[in-house]
């Protein structure tokens, strides 16, 4: 069994693989097995791997299962102590793996960690999809050290310390295989978006820890599959975020948070329609609310099991702030500015 398996889930990412996989191979092959799991691509991804990267191990899935279920089906075929879930559009740096492995080896209570995630196009700035580790506000809105909504900070070393976080980015996450499977893996029903937050939250409720290790740096292109403003992306984000809240919120908070989210989500929908004139996103938010209501019953057993297995029944992993209030009313646009006023 390998100690570390880097697993890149690919779907029509031939260009990304051609550009960034050589870097992964060069800086990782001494420390890890490298796998590409293909989600039934229709481009020439597999031909590229066969001809230019014959030493990279491959798994071919029979259909596009999405990010979540695609990883589940790939990882069940790989034996390793640690998995590294790595996007195909990530550029890694020399010795990027070493700090992650050393930290996990010396901290058995930690289930998963991430490196510092910087932007590939501007390596002095954090990258949207995870920056320096993620959190949730009391209404379930994700934010990061280095990124609040669409405001992304410059990296001036302000977060260059190891920090326990609520969630690690799915763009580059090291996770113990044992913890991955004990938590049930990624929720395949999500398809994509919020699935790594859901997994990390479940791990936290089981008493495990999640960390960001900024001694390791990688560079993420971002938006490699869907553009930033995309109705399908908006739909998945809203539907999956609501589902994640339903699964993981403590009973005492469930009704009040869901009532507030009903108000906030429809406010956001009408804002996109009236102010931004974005009909696509307006429809996506409305459809996401309906989709969540329709399939919520399918997650009742998940919720019951998660709540039963909570180590601390009263603990809230969310930060007790309204991110919207802090950002739009108080004009606080950075993580430290917001946290210093909690």
What digits encode the pLDDT tens for the residues 213-234? Answer: 999 999 999 854 445 568 999 9
CA distance linking residue 205 with residue 250, whole number of Å: 10
User: Is residue 226 included in any domain, yes or no?
Assistant: no
Answer whether 155's CB lies under 8 Å from 146's CB: yes
Cβ distance 155 to 122 under 8 Å? no
Q: Are 162 and 217 spatial neighbours (Cβ–Cβ below 8 Å)?
A: no
| 111 and 30 in a common domain | yes
Residue 75: inside a domain = yes
* Same structural domain, 247 and 198: no
Q: Answer yes or no: do 143 and 241 share one domain.
A: no
User: Is the CB of residue 210 less than 8 Å from the CB of residue 164?
Assistant: yes
Q: Which two tokens stand for residue 57?
A: 């191990």
For residue 112, being part of any structural domain is answered with: yes
Helix runs in the chain, H state only: 14-28, 45-52, 66-75, 97-106, 177-182, 195-205, 231-248, 251-274, 279-295, 300-308, 323-324, 335-339
Is residue 334 situated within a structural domain?
A: no
The reply to whether 78 and 136 lie within a common domain is: yes
The string of pLDDT tens digits covering residues 269-318 is: 988 888 888 899 999 999 999 999 999 999 999 999 999 989 976 666 89
Q: Is 158 left (phi over 0), alpha (psi -120 to 50) or beta?
A: alpha
Residues 63 and 117 in one domain: yes
pLDDT in tens, 143-176: 999 999 999 999 999 999 999 999 999 999 999 9
Strand partners, 173: 85
Instruction: Decide the pairing of beta strands 172-176 and 110-119.
Output: antiparallel
**DSSP designation for 77:** T
Task: Answer yes or no: do 159 and 81 share one domain.
Answer: yes
Same domain? 89 vs 67? yes
Does residue 107 sit in the same domain as residue 173? yes
Residues 15 and 93 in one domain: yes
pLDDT(94) > 50: yes
Residue 337 lies in a domain: no
pTM over 0.85: yes
164 and 64 in a common domain: yes
Q: Which two tokens stand for residue 195?
A: 């699935």
The pLDDT, as a whole number, for residue 315 is: 67
Q: Do 67 and 208 sit in the same domain of this protein?
A: yes
Q: Are residues 100 and 191 in the same domain?
A: yes
DSSP-assigned letters across all residues of 139-185: T--EEETTEETTEE-B-SSTT-S-EEESB--TTEEEEEHHHHHHTT-
**Domain membership flag for residue 319:** no
Count: domains in the chain: 2
pLDDT at 224: 40
Structural domain harbouring 281: 231-311
What is the CATH number for 31?
3.90.550.10
Residue 320, domain member (yes or no): no
For residue 247, the model assigns a pLDDT of 98
3 state SS of 205: helix
Residue 322 lies in a domain: no
């Amino acid at each position: 069994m390998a100690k570390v398996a880097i697993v890149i889930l690919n779907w029509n990412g031939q260009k990304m693989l051609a550009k960034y996989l050589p870097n992964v191979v060069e800086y990782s092959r001494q420390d890890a097995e490298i796998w590409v799991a293909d989600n039934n691509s229709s481009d020439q991804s597999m031909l590229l791997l066969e001809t230019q990267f014959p030493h990279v191990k491959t798994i071919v899935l029979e259909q596009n299962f999405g990010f979540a279920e695609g990883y589940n089906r790939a990882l069940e075929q790989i034996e390793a102590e640690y998995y590294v879930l790595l996007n195909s559009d990530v550029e890694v740096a020399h010795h990027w793996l070493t700090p992650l492995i050393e930290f996990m080896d010396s901290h058995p209570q930690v289930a998963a960690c991430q490196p510092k995630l910087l932007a590939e196009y501007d390596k002095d700035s954090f990258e949207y999809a995870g920056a320096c580790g993620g959190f949730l506000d009391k209404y379930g809105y994700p934010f990061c050290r280095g990124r609040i909504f669409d405001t992304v900070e410059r990296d001036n070393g302000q977060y260059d310390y190891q920090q326990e976080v609520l969630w690690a980015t799915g763009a580059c996450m090291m996770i113990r295989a044992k913890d991955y499977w004990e938590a049930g893996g990624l929720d395949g029903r999500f398809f994509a978006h919020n699935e790594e937050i859901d997994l990390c939250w479940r791990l936290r409720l089981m008493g495990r820890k999640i960390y960001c290790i900024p001694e390791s740096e990688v560079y993420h292109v971002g938006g490699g599959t869907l553009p930033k403003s995309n109705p399908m992306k908006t739909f998945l984000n809203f539907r999956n975020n609501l589902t994640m809240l339903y699964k993981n919120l403590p009973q005492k908070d469930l009704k009040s948070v869901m009532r507030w989210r009903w108000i906030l989500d429809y406010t956001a929908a009408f804002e996109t329609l009236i102010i931004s004139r974005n009909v696509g996103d307006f429809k996506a938010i409305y459809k996401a609310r309906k989709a969540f209501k329709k399939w919520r019953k399918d997650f009742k057993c998940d919720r019951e099991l998660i709540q039963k297995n909570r180590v601390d029944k009263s603990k809230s992993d969310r930060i007790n702030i309204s991110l919207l209030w802090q950002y739009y009313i108080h004009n606080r646009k950075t993580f430290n500015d917001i946290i210093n006023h909690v």
